[in-house]
């Protein structure tokens, strides 16, 4: 693993050296202006396609409510403490993930954890931007009435024909990256915070409207029962590990996002409270997504375990059977795109901040480099469904390999090492000072928190990591 990361950083460093400005002063490091801006941006980092695209089909494939219950346990017992751990690292160091570990653990190998986070962020952007591009395509299709009056077979054919096109998905991917670039290049206050304060309330509003409409559909109670009434006979050991893995993916743990964002936090921010708010809102978004999708799917006798194509092949068929289908389909895919974009800009910021601070390249050029690298990866990810669909290794195409390397290997490994770093290496006084703002706020259960980070979180994450490799 270290050899891969080393090679990556060596090659990229040679490229970046061509962009580095000589004899220029480093731009002043920005920061969030308001607490609501911090909350919206950080929640936006956590909330993404994982909540709305991935969570429903994972829940559908793993038995519904029983999986949801295990997921909630994983989120609050393991996910929440690791969120706080990343906040501690980021705010204490006031640096990108690599720089943070170099500051807090100088002359050690811990900075490799930061490199893993930056690499994971870049690789996730590679395939995430493609899926976000699919979403933009479906916003266009919904708005232009292309999703109206078609059969279930037509929707499947439409999605497969679109993804098999070698050019069209790449155009959407490029447009997605352009929007992300235009936001990130403006910095934290003028770009990310400003965009998040607009997008996140809009996302919440759309979700609430869609959930209420879905719940009121005739026959929706079957879907609500499937989602909220647990049947533990359908729960397997693999379901538990899937729930834990998804908790990490959903909260953006192990990919440097929360370390990067918290590096811009002011010193008066209550880290435990912020971590609790982010975890709770992220979870509510996942649950609300389930309340949008499952009542509607069951109301029209569709299958809830349709897999990743659920939102592209099954839901259009559901929407067209609703009164006012144009409104609901358009609103849903705009919602999906907003969720994708908030995560894209946070991942973009992780890699941009690293390049900007490590190589003294302007934020504008750093953002350009990241966008170019992501588009390069995105082309091959998109082609995994068209001209490269038969190019596989161990039965996985390029898109699937990036998803596997990040979600199954880099994220759990990074989360496990972050837990160990904060609980075992970092001075406990530093951890206590950060969580209590140097004693100005009271922190309950500090010893329990350290115990979870030392033993519970690493062991559980390690189980996911080993299972992923074996599988």
| DSSP letter, residue 147 | T
How many percent of the chain have pLDDT more than 90?
59
Q: What is the pLDDT of residue 407?
A: 81
| Residue 311 counted as domain residue | yes
Q: Half-sphere exposure of residue 326, counting CA atoms within 13 Å on the CB side?
A: 4
Of residues 40, 33, 35, the one with CA closest to residue 200: 40
- Which DSSP string corresponds to 184-206? HTTHIIIIIIHHHHHHHHHHHHH
Q: Is residue 33 part of a domain?
A: no
CB distance 414 to 46 below 8 Å: no
pLDDT bin (cut points 50, 70, 90) of residue 28 is: low
- Range in 311-315, 346-350, 413-417 with the lowest mean pLDDT: 311-315
pLDDT score, position 179: 97
Domain housing 413:
45-470
**Structural contact between residues 304 and 63, judged by C-beta atoms closer than 8 angstroms:** no
Residue 399 predicted with pLDDT over 60 = yes
Helix (H, G, I), strand (E, B) or coil at 267: coil
DSSP 324-377: THHHHHHHHHHHHHHHHHHHHHHHHHHHHHHHHHHH---HHHHHHHHHHHHHHH
Q: What is the model's pLDDT at position 305?
A: 64
pLDDT digits (tens, 9 = 90+) for 305-321: 665 667 888 788 888 88
Domain at 434, CATH number: 1.10.4160
Q: Report helix, strand or coil for 231.
A: coil
| Residue 20 within a domain | no
Q: Is the pLDDT of residue 466 over 60?
A: yes
3-state secondary structure 374-409: HHHHHHHHHHCCCCCCCCCECCECHHHHHHHHHHHH
Over residues 121-159, the pLDDT tens digits come to 999 999 999 999 999 999 999 999 999 888 888 998 999
Q: What is the pLDDT of residue 304?
A: 67
What's the pLDDT score for residue 56? Answer: 78
Q: Any idea which of 174-178, 191-195, 231-235 has the lowest mean pLDDT?
A: 231-235
Per-residue pLDDT at 2 exceeds 80: no
CA distance 234 to 231: 6
- Helical H segments across 216-324, by residue range: 221-228, 237-250, 257-262, 271-299, 315-320
The answer to the question of residue 316 being in a domain is yes
The pLDDT of residue 306: 61
Is residue 6 assigned to a domain?
Answer: no
> Which of 8-17, 246-255, 421-430 bottoms out in mean pLDDT, i.e. has the lowest?
8-17
Segment 329-356 shows an average pLDDT of 94
Using CA atoms, how far apart are residues 194 and 41, in angstroms rounded to an integer?
9
Name the CA dihedral angle for 465, 310, 55, 305, rounded to a multiple of 10 degrees.
-70
Residue 24: is its pLDDT beyond 50? no
pLDDT confidence band for 15 (50 / 70 / 90): very low
Distances (CA, A) of 219 to 96, 162, 212, 294, 356: 50, 32, 14, 11, 53
Q: Give the up-direction half-sphere exposure of residue 20: CA atoms within 13 A in the CB hemisphere.
A: 14
For residue 251, the Cα-to-chain-centroid distance in whole angstroms is 6
Does some domain include residue 35?
no
pLDDT computed for residue 156 by the predictor:
87
Q: Summarize pLDDT for 88-104 with one digit per residue, the tens.
A: 999 999 999 999 999 99
The total domain count for the chain is 1
Tell me the pLDDT tens digit for each residue of 207-235: 999 999 999 989 999 989 988 888 888 78
Closest CA to 133 of 407, 314, 333, 331: 333
Give pLDDT, residue 253.
Answer: 87
* Mean pLDDT, all residues of the chain: 88
How much is the pLDDT for 54?
76
Q: Is the pTM of this model over 0.95?
A: no
For residue 300, being part of any structural domain is answered with: yes
Is residue 216 a part of any domain in this protein? yes
Q: What is the pLDDT of residues 237-292, one digit of tens each?
A: 888 888 887 887 788 888 889 999 999 999 999 999 999 999 999 999 989 988 98
């Amino acid at each position: 693993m270290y050899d891969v990361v080393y090679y990556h950083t060596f090659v990229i460093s040679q490229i970046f050296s061509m962009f580095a400005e000589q004899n220029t002063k480093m731009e002043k490091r920005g920061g969030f202006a308001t607490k609501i801006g911090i909350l919206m941006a950080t929640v936006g980092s956590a909330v993404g396609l994982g909540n709305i695209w991935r969570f429903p089909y994972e829940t559908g494939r793993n038995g519904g409510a029983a999986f949801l219950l295990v997921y909630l346990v994983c989120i609050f017992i393991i996910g929440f403490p690791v969120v706080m751990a990343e906040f501690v690292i980021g705010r204490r160091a006031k640096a990108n993930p690599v720089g943070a570990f170099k500051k807090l653990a100088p002359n050690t190998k811990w900075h490799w954890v930061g490199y893993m986070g930056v690499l994971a962020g870049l690789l996730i952007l590679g395939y995430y931007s493609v899926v976000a591009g699919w979403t933009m395509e479906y916003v266009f299709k919904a708005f232009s009435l292309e999703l109206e009056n078609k059969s279930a077979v037509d929707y499947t054919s439409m999605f497969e024909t679109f993804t098999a096109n070698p050019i069209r998905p790449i155009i959407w991917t490029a447009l997605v990256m352009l929007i992300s670039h235009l936001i990130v290049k403006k910095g934290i206050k003028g770009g990310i915070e400003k965009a998040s304060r607009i997008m996140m309330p809009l996302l919440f509003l759309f979700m609430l409207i869609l959930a209420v409409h879905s719940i009121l559909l005739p026959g929706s109670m079957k879907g609500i029962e499937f989602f909220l009434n647990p049947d533990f006979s359908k729960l397997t050991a693999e379901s538990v590990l899937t729930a834990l893995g998804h908790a990490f993916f959903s909260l953006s743990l192990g990919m440097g996002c929360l370390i990067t964002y918290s590096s811009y936090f002011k010193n008066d921010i209550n880290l435990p409270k912020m971590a609790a708010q982010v975890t709770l809102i992220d979870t509510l978004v996942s649950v609300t997504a389930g309340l949008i999708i499952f009542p509607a799917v069951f109301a029209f006798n569709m299958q809830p375990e349709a897999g990743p194509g659920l939102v592209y092949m099954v839901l259009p068929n559901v929407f067209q059977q609703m009164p006012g289908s144009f409104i609901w389909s358009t609103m849903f895919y705009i919602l999906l795109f907003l969720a994708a974009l908030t995560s894209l800009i946070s991942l973009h910021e992780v890699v941009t901040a690293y390049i900007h601070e490590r190589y003294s390249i302007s934020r504008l050029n750093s953002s350009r480099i990241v966008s170019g690298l992501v588009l390069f990866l995105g082309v091959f990810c998109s082609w995994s469904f068209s001209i490269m669909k038969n190019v596989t290794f161990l039965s996985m195409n390029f898109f699937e390999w990036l998803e596997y390397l990040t979600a199954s290997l880099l994220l759990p490994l990074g989360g496990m090492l972050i837990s160990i770093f904060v609980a075992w290496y970092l001075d406990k006084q530093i951890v206590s000072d950060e969580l209590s703002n140097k004693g100005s706020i009271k922190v309950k259960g500090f010893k329990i928190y350290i115990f979870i980070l030392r033993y519970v979180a690493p062991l559980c994450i390690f189980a996911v990591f080993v299972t992923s490799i074996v599988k």
